[in-house]
Amino acid sequence: MSASEYLIGVNDEHGLDPPTNGKRTPIMPYLDKSIYENEFNRPAKIYCAIALLRSGFRTFDLHPEIQDISVSVRVNRANFARCDLLVTFAYNAFGSGHSFNSVSGVLTYFSDKSYFAENSQTLSEDVYSAIIEKSLQTNGRGVGVLSDVGVLRSVRCPSTLIEAGFMTNLREARLMLDPDWQKSIAYAAAAGICDYTDKAYTGEGNPADYPTIMRGSENFYVKIAQYLLNLRGYPLDTDGVFGSNTQAATIEFQKFNGLTADGIIGKQSWSKLVLQSPSIYILKKGSTGSAVQYLQYKLLSKLYPLDADGIFGSETENAVKLFQTESGLVPDGIVGPITFSALLPLSSPRDPEQ
């Protein structure tokens, strides 16, 4: 089979609006609130789908909704669509869930009761190996068995579930909000699927080289753009058809990012959508857009409280100044190459060991 003959199901566990009960971290220090599991699962699923599309596969989203959807419904969706394999993103917990502990690391799972148990095990092993070798998550706990989990046992295709870290480990809990962490695990999972299917993995490349798309376009680049617009806060069906809704979302995204609002996705819009190199921007009070939102999530993942709304206001400026001070930088509230360089590592000045 060629890559285009595979239909890959992508799935994220639990929901965010409303958040699924109990699927959250303990109260995070400094942030004074929990992080919900789906705050990692959903963006990781989206990034994985994008990487699979780049690599020539077709994708099917079992869970496009923001709210939680029952396992039985998602299983039925996968089976009705005739997915050729399925990958599910989740985050683990250990203990009571009310306090942090030292248990950490990624696991992948398969069901030994699945009709496709042997293939599912191989898929899980390939995805696990790719995450350990190619992502920012290098702490591994192996491949395990979850016999009766529906998205593993009841789907009519090989299926793996990724528990990318532990919500009850403080470091891995805060990293749930780190976009670089999310993307690296998702892209590595896609690379593992490529290994399993013996197909070549295609990286991001240069977004400026992506083709121009506009109303009437129908291809996988449209679907990638729709996934990215969803990720940036513009809800859309990811059907690969550039219709009026995609055009309207594109115009709103362009306005918010200071681009010409023509509804056409060309070099500049692709660069802001993919956001491959956010550190090339100089951000300060009054800035808006996807680079600001990236900055805000990086700050949140390092335990500096604010709203990740893409608007660089007083709250974001104060958080930046605090981060700069605690990182030994000049606290001018302006985010340029030096501050971005300090933001890139997974560590935080607010880690207990710092």
245, 274, 303 — which closes off a domain?
A: 274
Q: Could you tell me if 69 and 166 lie in one domain?
A: yes
In sequence order, the 6+-apart residues with CB closer than 8 A to the CB of 345 are none
288-304 pLDDT, tens digit each? 999 999 999 999 999 99
pTM of the model: 0.97
Q: Could you tell me if 270 and 284 lie in one domain?
A: no
Q: Could you tell me if 75 and 124 lie in one domain?
A: yes
Q: What distance in Å separates the CA atoms of residue 108 and residue 128, rounded to the nearest whole number? A: 6
Maximum distance among all Cα pairs of the chain, rounded to whole angstroms: 60
Q: Could you tell me if 91 and 167 lie in one domain?
A: yes
In sequence order, the 6+-apart residues with CB closer than 8 A to the CB of 67 are 15, 16, 17, 18
Interstrand relation of 159-166 and 106-110 (parallel, antiparallel or unpaired): antiparallel
Positive/negative CA dihedral, 48, 43, 27, 306: positive
Say if 351 falls within a structural domain.
no
Q: What distance in Å separates the CA atoms of residue 153 and residue 306, rounded to the nearest whole number? A: 40
Which residue range(s) make up the domain with 249? 207-274
Question: Domain containing 338 — which CATH number?
Answer: 1.10.101.10
Which of the 8 DSSP states describes residue 208? G
Q: What is the pLDDT of residue 17?
A: 87
Q: What distance in Å separates the CA atoms of residue 171 and residue 214, rounded to the nearest whole number? A: 42
172-220 pLDDT, tens digit each? 999 999 999 999 999 999 999 999 999 999 999 999 999 999 999 999 9
123-168 pLDDT, tens digit each? 999 999 999 999 999 999 999 999 999 999 999 999 999 999 999 9
